[in-house]
Amino acid sequence: MQNTLRYSYIFSLTIFVTFVTVFFAATPRVEAAAFSFRTSTAVVHQGQEVHVDILLDPEGETINTVSVTGTLPEHLVFGGFDDSASIVSFFVDDPKVTSSGNQFTFSGIIPGGFSGLIDPFAPSVRKPGTLMRLIFTGKTPGVGRSDLVGVEAYLNDGEGMRAKVVTGSLNLLVDGLLDWLPIADIPDTTPPLPFTPVVTRDFLLFQNDYVLIFNTKDKESGINHYQVKEGSGVWTRAVSPYVLTDQTLSEDVWVKAVDRAGNERIEVVRARARTPANMRTVGVIVGVAILLAFIIMLIRRHRQSGR
């Protein structure tokens, strides 16, 4: 009897989720940048991991800046972010869970703008791009709903005009079943992808100080954090853009990207200038070399005159 009631409950929830999904899919499209969710399944077992992608469809526009805030669904445990496939190149606000614990947020820049992914089989068709992947695990039976409650997008039009946006919702059914087989974890031994840190400055930002901009991807486990070291200093955890302590650019700067498995990739930006101390050191070395050459010349002349 209990099993019958449980499966009746699961069946009813499945019908509800299917109805909601069809209803939203049938909603007329509005000509505006569309933010939506995508997942490979609408039903999750307890303890099963599921990935949810947040997509951007520019709908004919070219978007270069996005800001997203969404709610975390009940009945699921949030497991983290994965930006390895993100179309966002630079995160102004790194993905994080808000202090309330029931929302997530991030914002970033897409240099040159994003107008959609080109379908190689239909070049005139543009597909949505992935902004962020959310990782969840089924916890308790029920329907977990997530909404995008704060979304902004700006056009790549040279003026930063705000784009019209429409948003979708996510409904995931967590059933009461536990008969799933966990997928064996494949260890991530590959470091993050190579990248090129850039030193730049803008009179409108950071009081025109030099800043270091960096970003890379990790296809396996995703980027965990970055560290920066200036000259002979110590490694410091950092986010991009990073205001350089040495504004003379007289020291090499190293950037370390660390993925969630602990693999590292280190890149370096070479010094652009030399400090007076360095120049004095070079002058001393040159002076000593000239003095040694002069002494050797005198010794040779003395030997030649004594023969």
For the chain, the domains span 2-174, 198-269, 280-307
Read off the pLDDT of residues 238-297 as tens digits, 9 standing for 90 and up. 988 899 999 999 999 999 999 988 999 999 999 986 545 455 555 667 666 787 776 877
pLDDT over 90 at 15, yes or no: no
Taking 3-state DSSP, the helix, strand and coil percentages for the chain, each rounded to the nearest 5, stand at 20, 40, 40
Binned at pLDDT 50, 70 and 90, residue 306 comes out as low
Cα separation values, 36 from 7, 25, 88, 175, 231, Å = 30, 11, 16, 23, 44
| Higher pLDDT among residues 275 and 212, named by residue | 212
CATH level 3 topology of 198-269: Immunoglobulin-like (2.60.40)
Whether 220 contacts 185, CB under 8 Å: no
Question: How sure is the predictor about 152, in pLDDT bands with cuts at 50, 70 and 90?
Answer: very high
DSSP string covering 99-165, please?
TTSSEEEEEEEEEEEE--EEETTEEEEEE-EEEEEEEEEE-SSEEEEEEEEEEEEEESSSS-PBPPE
CA 145 to each of CA 58, 77, 104, 109: distance values in angstroms, whole numbers, following the listed order: 24, 12, 14, 27
Please determine, for residue 7, whether its predicted confidence score (pLDDT) is greater than 70. Answer: no
Using a 10 angstrom Cβ sphere, with 0-12 exposed, 13-18 middle and 19 or more buried, the burial of residue 124 is exposed
Beta strand 236-238 pairing with 198-200: unpaired
Average pLDDT for the chain:
82
**237 three-class SS:** strand
Which pLDDT score is estimated for 196?
Answer: 92
pLDDT beyond 90 at 124: no
| pLDDT given at position 282 | 57
Do 149 and 169 meet the contact criterion of CB atoms below 8 Å apart?
Answer: no
**126 confidence band (pLDDT: 50, 70, 90):** confident
Give the span between the Cα atoms of 245 and 75, in whole angstroms: 46
> Tokens standing for 183?
């997928």
- 56-83 pLDDT, tens digit per residue, is 999 989 999 999 999 999 999 999 998 8
Please answer whether residues 84 and 192 qualify as being in contact, where contact means their C-beta atoms are separated by less than 8 angstroms: no
Q: Which position has the higher pLDDT, 121 or 225? A: 225
* Identical fold between 2-174 and 198-269: yes
pLDDT at 11 over 70: no
Higher local confidence (pLDDT), 86 or 180: 86
Domain 2-174: give its CATH code.
Answer: 2.60.40.680
- Encoded tokens for 85: 């496939």
